[in-house]
Amino acid sequence: MAVNGTREIRVRRIDRLGWMTTFSDMVTLLLTFFVMIIAMSSMDRKSLEDAFGFFRSVAGPLYFPSRGSVDIRPGTVDQVPRIVEYSRESLRECIALELRKRSDKDAGRGLDLFDVVETPRGLAVRIGSDVMFEEGSSRLGPQGSKVLAAVSAALRPAGATISVEGHTDNKGPEDANRVLSLERAVAVTDYMVYSAGLSPSRFCVAGYGMLRPVATNDTDGGRRNNRRVEIILLKDRF
């Protein structure tokens, strides 16, 4: 439109209160919904049956049977087993108790067959290789099997990853010692998995040979302490 040679442009102003129309409709619907809920909650069973009696001929959610039954299905969610967290003392006592259950002959022994120590990586069950294996062998003996059965029973409820690590003294070639330590760690793991029934997914295995001594190799007692297998409950899974 032009007025006196000047072009006039008209712009429609936005209605700033237009949202109230939608809002009012929503509030009205909500109010109606809540009024209906309150009205139905105040009605007894007889009133509801009378109100919806014409639906009796139709099988649906508004049918009111005088008697009924409910089918209960068994639970489909597996129960999570309880996970036990050990201290050094409680783990020592638990293994000793399991060991006494398995052997009357060794009832006087127990704590001298193994040791439990705290390491930066977690609790470690140390078992001397002399307790479980013949010299230079990786085959488990009867006493070693009893000790491992007790250790496995004690560690079954624990939820930690288990690292089985073999160690030797400094006698003999380094490569041969490393292989022997690994074979002994594998033998211990095989027993705990295949004989004691622990899950193989919980284990990792290593053989360090003479590289990680816990005592001097200059004495017989020190070398005996270094010849060991450690079963470690790793902290990252406690």
In which element (H, E) is residue 38 found? helix 19-41
Q: Are residues 33 and 93 in the same domain?
A: no
Sheet holding 122-128, edge to edge: 115-119, 122-128, 228-234, 162-167, 203-207
Q: Are residues 233 and 200 in the same domain?
A: yes
Closest CA to 156 of 100, 78, 94: 94
Spacing of C-alpha 75 from chain mean position: 20
Q: Are residues 160 and 126 in the same domain?
A: yes
Domain count, the chain: 2
DSSP letter, residue 74: P
Given this model, what pLDDT does residue 27 score?
87
Q: Are residues 98 and 50 in the same domain?
A: no
Rounded Cα distance between 119 and 137, Å, is 27
Asked if residue 228 lies in contact with residue 129, where contact means CB atoms within 8 angstroms, the answer is: yes
237 to 35, 114, 139, 203, 224: CA distances (angstroms): 55, 23, 30, 12, 31
- What does each of the 238 residues of the chain score in pLDDT, given as a tens digit? 555 566 666 666 666 677 778 888 888 988 888 888 877 666 566 666 666 565 555 545 544 455 556 555 555 555 555 567 788 899 899 998 998 887 755 444 555 789 999 999 999 999 999 999 988 899 999 889 999 999 999 999 888 899 999 999 999 999 999 999 999 999 999 999 999 999 999 999 999 999 999 999 999 999 999 999 999 999 875 4
Q: Are residues 44 and 92 in the same domain?
A: no
Asked if residue 124 lies in contact with residue 68, where contact means CB atoms within 8 angstroms, the answer is: no
Q: What is the CATH number of the domain that holds 144?
A: 3.30.1330.60
Please name every residue paired with 233 in a beta bridge, in sequence order, or none if there are none.
123, 162
Last residue of a domain, one of 65, 80, 98: 65
Task: Give domain status of residue 4, yes or no.
Answer: no
pTM score: 0.63
Range(s) of the domain holding residue 48: 18-65
Rounded Cα distance between 202 and 131, Å, is 24
Q: Are residues 58 and 112 in the same domain?
A: no
Please tell me whether residue 218 adopts helix, strand or coil conformation. Answer: coil
Task: Give domain status of residue 125, yes or no.
Answer: yes
Closest CA to 237 of 92, 153, 122, 119: 122
For 186-218, letters b (16+ CB in 10 Å) and e give bbbbbbbbeebebeeebbebbbbbbeebeeeee
Please name every residue paired with 117 in a beta bridge, in sequence order, or none if there are none.
124
